[in-house]
Amino acid sequence: MKGGLRARLLATFALGMLFLGLGLGGTAFLLVKTGLEVSLEAQGKAQTLYLARQLEEDLLLNDLYAVFRQLESLEGEGVLGFVLDPRGEVLVHTFPGGFPLNLKTLMGRFRFQGEIYRLYRSPIGDGSVGTLALAFPETPLRQKLAHLLVLGAWWALGVTALAFLLVSRAADQFLKPLEALVQGVRAWQEGWERALPDPGGELRVLHQALVAYRERVKRREQELSTLNQVAEAVNRAETPEGVLQNALEALARSGLFRCGEAWLGEVRVGKVLCPYRDEEVCPLKRGEQKTTYHTLELTEARLLLDTEAPQAFLEAIKAPIEAGLHRARYTQALKERAQERSQLLKALIQAQEAERARLARDLHDQIGQILTGIDLGLSANPLSSQHGGPTSDPADP
């Protein structure tokens, strides 16, 4: 992260410096060029005026050779010149290869033998003696301008390099605490606990926001874990009393609660984490008003809790406990019905056994009576006794 952000910052700075350098360089170029042109203009006019005053006496004496010598002395600087008489005829010139006739009336810049010149005129003796014209080459101007541009480029490069180093160092100093924050957040993502160093300055706001966010995340994770533990605990209980007691124990293990009681109707079925040995002095028992005391109203039950957990979390806790109470009551009702069914079935079986025994006794008595009657009848009939079998009585129908 540090390398990427640092590279982006430095690239942005370099790009900004490039545009700034181009802007400042262009402005400096225009200013320098304008300044050199103004300087050359002033220098050309001053030198032409000075030389015109020097040539006035020689022209009055008609010493054209002396005039030529003075004009020739300027060739070392690349300056060409000519002198016109009052009628506009060329008296003397230093142009190699012949004098261009169009220069008699030309003003400003012109090209001669591949070189650009600037032409300046000055009257000699108020123009009554003649006119002096000097042509200054622009090559020295361009050389000075190029020299200044090279110096400016090197100077700008040095300043840019120094600024780049300073910005790089400042970026490292700025990104060092930020990198520590990033490493801390990355450790949080990997499940490690690491304290974030306070970077100070403007980054302190970011540090405080990250710490607050981490605390909220940890509390949220603790709340979700507590909800899961409560749900698992109430699922293990089979009675409403067990549901409330298991819920209290799960809440006590979470560390979010300091004291708690469970009531089923008007009967207390559980109490955990009470810091008082004598329950009569417990503020929760006495019902004192306190901002951390909360009552969770459940169906025919309630939980009294001493906690700083938010109300939304307390409302979320009610759902698994309510579900556990409903399941426990339903399970208890099913067990009671199964017990009643078992008792009814047992009573039915007992009644059937008693009826079966009664029927057996009645049948036994009837059979005994029949056998007794037969036996008595056989004993009373002598003919039957002789022949070994019963005989029918003719009078018997």
User: What is the extent of the structural domain holding 146?
Assistant: 2-93+106-162
Same domain flag for 46 and 113:
yes
For residue 254, give the nearest of 211, 234, 224, 283 by alpha carbon: 224
Q: Is the dihedral of CA 324, 326, 329, 335 positive or negative?
A: negative
pLDDT of residue 391: 47
The verdict on 13 and 144 lying in the same domain is yes
Q: Are residues 136 and 9 in the same domain?
A: yes
- Name, in order, each residue with C-beta under 8 angstroms of 285's C-beta and a sequence gap of 6 or more: 261, 279
Same domain, yes or no: 18 and 137:
yes
Residues in the chain with pLDDT < 50? Answer: 1-2, 389, 391-397
In terms of Cα–Cα distance, which of 271, 264, 329 is closest to 298?
264
Q: Is residue 194 part of a domain?
A: no
Point out the domain boundary residue: 282, 312, 335: 335
Distance CA 5, CA 189 (A): 20
Residue 389 lies in a domain: no
Q: Residue 97 burial by CB count (10 A; 0-12/13-18/19+): exposed, middle or buried? A: exposed
- State the pLDDT at residue 28: 63
Distance, CA of 16 to CA of 24 (rounded, Å): 12
Angle at 320 between CA 317 and CA 322, to 5 degrees: 95
Q: How high is the pLDDT of residue 280?
A: 56
Please report whether residue 110 resides in a domain. yes
Whether 115 is in a domain gets the answer yes
- Of 317, 326, 23, 25, whose CA–CA distance to 156 is shortest? 25
Residue 187 falls within a domain, yes or no?
no
Please state the domain count of the chain.
2
Is residue 271 in a domain? yes
270, 149: one domain: no
Phi-psi region of 298 (alpha: psi -120 to 50; beta: other; left: phi over 0): beta
Give yes or no: residues 138 and 278 share one domain. no
SS3 of residue 127 by DSSP: coil
- The crossing angle, in degrees rounded to 10, of helices 2-60 and 64-72 is 170
| pLDDT, position 250 | 85
Domain boundary among the residues 335, 352, 370 is at: 335
Answer yes or no: is 29 within a domain: yes
* Per-residue tokens: 151: 């110096």
Give yes or no: residues 244 and 311 share one domain: yes
DSSP string, 248-260: HHHHHHHTSEEEE
Q: How far apart are CA 100 and CA 119, in angstroms?
A: 13
Question: Looking at the domain assignment, is residue 123 inside a domain?
Answer: yes
Distances (CA, A) of 285 to 57, 79, 216, 245, 248: 129, 115, 32, 17, 16
Considering only CA atoms, which of 68, 192, 47, 180 is closest in space to residue 122? Answer: 47
Do 123 and 264 share a domain, yes or no?
no
Task: For residues 147 and 7, state if they share a domain.
Answer: yes
Residue 109 bridge partners (DSSP): 118
CATH number for 74 = 3.30.450
Q: Are residues 227 and 306 in the same domain?
A: yes
pLDDT at 293: 73
The pLDDT, as a whole number, for residue 4 is 63
Buried b (16+ CB within 10 A) or exposed e, 340-350: eeeeeeeeeee
CATH number at residue 252: 3.30.450.40
The verdict on 122 and 52 lying in the same domain is yes
pLDDT value at residue 395 = 41
Q: What pLDDT is recorded for position 9?
A: 65
CA-based R_g, the chain, Å: 62
Kindly report the pTM of this predicted structure: 0.46
H/E stretch holding 132 reads: strand 130-137
Of 162, 177, 207, which one is at a domain's C-terminal end? Answer: 162
- Nearest by Cα to 250 from 222, 284, 278, 217: 222
Both 129 and 232 in one domain: the answer is no
Question: Given this model, what pLDDT does residue 284 score?
Answer: 55
